[in-house]
Chains A and B, each alone.
Chain A
């Protein structure tokens, strides 16, 4: 087995006196498609922020390809939560995707070179938005905006793609299209996806974990009722993928 792309070891996060993450351990390998599910407020975004280096863990460490520190983050591609975006910002799709190269430019002043532009065109093609390149992001549909955000993550040639609630604001056909895009990307990079929506876990995930302050892992791609119950603190019905189903039974109020 090769060295993990992401290694999270004994990570604790305390924010304003609350323990948000407790003793979180897991590793993402090169060919993983890792889904982390959990209720809202369970620490999913916080965990991503720790991996991205936006938050320092109170205890524990995160290693990216065996390294810690800022330089290691260059191998991460990040697709933030949709609603954190300001789509009113005056920027074209191409400019936005190109800006994803800034982290790889070391010369000052930072200027884009031919390689940056070539990678941008390639990412636009990969995400099938090359025709929209000169449009403003606010004039795109939700699905197109999402592909633009992923394209921005792709230009930095990441070893792993981290996605935060990627399908919350898109309709079902767009979500299906989105997962087919992820399937293509899987050949090139590991993927970590966090979501509160168990119904959207795609069939091709290799591992699933449940997060609610603690991370409940399982070495397969199955969500077991135990894991869910531990994470959600309530009984949950689990039915196979692709079948219309009800996820929660008699959902009691959390906390």
Chain B
């Protein structure tokens, strides 16, 4: 299958897979340790509203999704901090409302919405050069912010009350973390699609959690696992001629199940 590496679309797919895995491993680690899985699910589904908005305005849907998702993350974070509503209800509402907005915008857009399906389920083999560039910029931002604020994020995700007692800007850090989740989600849309984002965001980090003792080592292993899963998934989907996003997710899920099973056996001894 190595002759396929000669094709530009395939090289782009591999680059996109690696970039997405880096973002996933880093941000997914926070999502897993802070138990933000459902918030991230809400943010990622709300991204569909941004895709629809992009179609409606005639701009790159991914650009629409970036703005819309970041705004959703900020809104949801603010609600969580201020309103004393049940968070799971808010997440459910935002989740559905985002999808609904997307559907309306797509309906209102004259003509046919091309590759709408690939935003929902991902198609990494069709990632254009421009999106690779956008993904590269987003990864650079994510890595830089986390490197700069590693200690603060650790304090805020470990024990927010204590961080507040120490006068750290807890609210701003929390919102920033949600924005990073939003940016990561946007990157993953190309790779696995809106509906499957949450799995790639959390599974590598969840497996890594079993074998690591610190945030940074958990991130490194999660990135490595993410790369392994996406590349395996891309290769398999090419060989078997099946959808890439779904293949990547199933590879990750099998690995997670395997890791949990192995852990069970190890602890049983």
Contacts and interface: CB of A to CB of B under 8 A. Distances in A.
Interface stretch (B40-48, B115-123, B156-164): B156-164
A119 to B, nearest CB: 14
A221 interface: no
A174 interface: no
A74 interface: yes
Interface in A83-116: 84-86, 88-92, 95-96, 99-100, 102-103, 109-112
B151 A110 contact: yes
A102 B159 contact: no
Nearest to A77: B165
B148 interface: yes
B214 interface: yes
A143 interface: no
Interface in A68-83: 70-71, 73-74, 76, 78, 80
A152 B155 CA distance: 12
A102 B173 CA distance: 14
A53 interface: yes
B214 A102 contact: no
Interface in B131-178: 148-149, 151-152, 154-155, 157-159, 161-168
Given A86-B158, A99-B151, A110-B151, A70 B33 contact: no
Contacts of B217: 90
A206 interface: no
Interface string B174-201: 0000000000000000000000000000
B166 A90 contact: no
Contacts of B218: 90
B213 interface: yes
Contacts, number: 71
B159 A103 contact: no
Contacts of B154: 91, 95, 99
A89 B209 CA distance: 9
A136 interface: yes
A76 B166 CA distance: 9
Nearest to A91: B158
Nearest to A156: B166
A159 to B, nearest CB: 14
Given A90-B33, A99-B151, A109-B149, A54 B164 contact: yes
A78 B33 contact: no
B168 to A, nearest CB: 6
Contacts of B159: 80, 85-86
A74 B163 CA distance: 12
A16 interface: yes
A17 B219 CA distance: 44
A102 B165 contact: no
A51 B12 CA distance: 56
A91 B166 CA distance: 18
A52 interface: yes
Given A90-B218, A91-B158, A52 B152 contact: no
Contacts of B158: 86, 89, 91, 96, 99
B234 to A, nearest CB: 29
A90 B165 contact: no
B167 A70 contact: yes
Given A70-B167, A74-B167, A103-B168, A110 B152 contact: yes
Given A90-B33, A90-B213, A109 B148 contact: yes
A84 B164 CA distance: 15
Interface of B: 33, 84, 148-149, 151-152, 154-155, 157-159, 161-168, 209, 212-215, 217-218
10 nearest A-B residue pairs (beta carbon) = A103-B166, A136-B213, A70-B167, A52-B165, A99-B155, A89-B158, A102-B166, A78-B165, A109-B148, A90-B218
Given A89-B33, A91-B158, 7 more contacts: A16-B84, A52-B165, A78-B162, A90-B214, A91-B214, A102-B155, A102-B166
20 contacts: A16-B84, A54-B165, A74-B166, A74-B167, A78-B162, A84-B161, A90-B213, A90-B214, A90-B215, A90-B217, A90-B218, A96-B158, A99-B154, A100-B162, A102-B152, A102-B163, A102-B168, A103-B168, A111-B151, A136-B213
